């Protein structure tokens, strides 16, 4: 499969139809704002998480008295999307259900992923459509890995996350063995709006917020390179990296891993959306390059 490239003049994005995955976001000077995908740390770039976010207990879920198996984060990231449209400044990709997907997820659906560049902003919109005649239970998440440090002369230690609102609630973690969401949170390292970034924060895996006040944040260094990230349709967020890796994943989610001890029906899992037949739900994520000087 060949990459699809879109450009606004100010930014250029490259998207791979396999997984409809954003691989590159660069400015007019060629400065790269995404991970390089070094397999020594993590080969991903920006996988789409569907129809689950995170892991399931023993990689299995229960639905109407039957059990099905799904890998961590679902199958969309390992699926070939149809290229619906590819123009200078925008592109759209689509994944539909198939015999293969219905064997592990017995529902009719369409997942459309749209990218559009407008000046220094990349707009992304994932739309899940229920094309069947029964309610569609699902979760969805973004998983983009941005360069850390961002282009410029700032040190990694100078980067901060600034949330739109104070975020005093405890941070959630996953069990290091099972990958399931632990029941108790831990005191947040966020001070008011601000999180000083340090690789040590991720030695216990991702930092997870299950009910955020904010729907946007900035990542970067004051007076240096910064990205403004908006996620107006999701209240959950994960921040993750492999400790020491040159990237930071900023992940708006609708849904999360199975909580430890959860054994209910898939439709009852926390964070699951139950979409009515014929309905659609869109999850947006906008990334704006504020400055790179």
51: CATH: 2.70.98.10
CA distance 269 to 271: 6
Q: How far apart are CA 241 and CA 145, in angstroms?
A: 8
Residues 36-57: pLDDT tens digits?
Answer: 999 999 999 999 999 999 999 9
How many domains is the chain built from?
1
Residue 236 lies in domain? 4-291
pLDDT in tens, 73-115: 999 999 999 999 999 999 999 999 999 999 999 999 999 999 9
Pairing of strands 136-138, 11-16: unpaired
Give the chain's largest Cα–Cα span: 57
Total Cβ atoms within 10 A of residue 199: 15
Count of H-run helices and E-run strands, the chain: 1, 22
Task: Please report the pLDDT score of residue 214 as a whole number.
Answer: 98
pLDDT in tens, 175-234: 999 999 999 999 999 999 999 999 999 999 999 999 999 999 999 998 889 999 999 999
pLDDT score of 292 more than 60: no
């Amino acid at each position: 499969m060949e990459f699809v490239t879109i450009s606004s003049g100010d930014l250029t994005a490259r998207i791979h139809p396999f997984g409809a995955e954003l691989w590159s976001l660069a400015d007019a000077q060629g400065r790269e704002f995404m991970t390089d995908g070094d397999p020594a740390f993590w080969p991903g770039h920006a996988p789409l998480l569907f129809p689950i976010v995170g892991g399931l207990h023993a990689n299995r879920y229960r639905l109407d008295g039957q059990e099905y198996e799904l890998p961590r984060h679902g199958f969309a990231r390992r699926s070939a999307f149809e290229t619906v449209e590819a123009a200078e400044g925008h592109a759209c990709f689509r994944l539909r259900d198939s015999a293969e997907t219905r064997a592990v997820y017995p529902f009719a659906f369409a997942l459309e992923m749209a990218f559009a560049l407008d000046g220094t902003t990349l707009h992304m919109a994932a739309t899940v459509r229920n094309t069947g005649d029964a309610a569609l239970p699902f979760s969805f998440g973004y998983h983009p890995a941005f360069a850390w440090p961002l282009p410029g002369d700032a040190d990694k230690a100078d980067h901060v996350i600034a949330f739109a609102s104070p975020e005093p609630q405890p941070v959630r973690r996953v069990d290091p063995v099972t990958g399931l969401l632990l029941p108790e949170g831990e005191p947040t390292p966020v001070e008011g709006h601000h999180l000083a970034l340090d690789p040590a924060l991720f030695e216990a895996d991702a930092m997870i917020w299950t009910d955020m006040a904010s729907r946007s944040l900035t990542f970067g260094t004051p007076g240096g390179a910064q990205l403004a990230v908006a996620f107006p349709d999701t209240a959950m967020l994960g921040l993750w990296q492999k400790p020491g890796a040159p990237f930071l994943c900023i992940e708006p989610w609708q849904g999360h891993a199975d909580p430890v001890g959860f054994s209910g029906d898939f439709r009852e899992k926390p964070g699951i959306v139950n979409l009515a037949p014929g309905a659609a739900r869109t999850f947006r994520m906008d990334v704006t390059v504020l400055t790179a000087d």
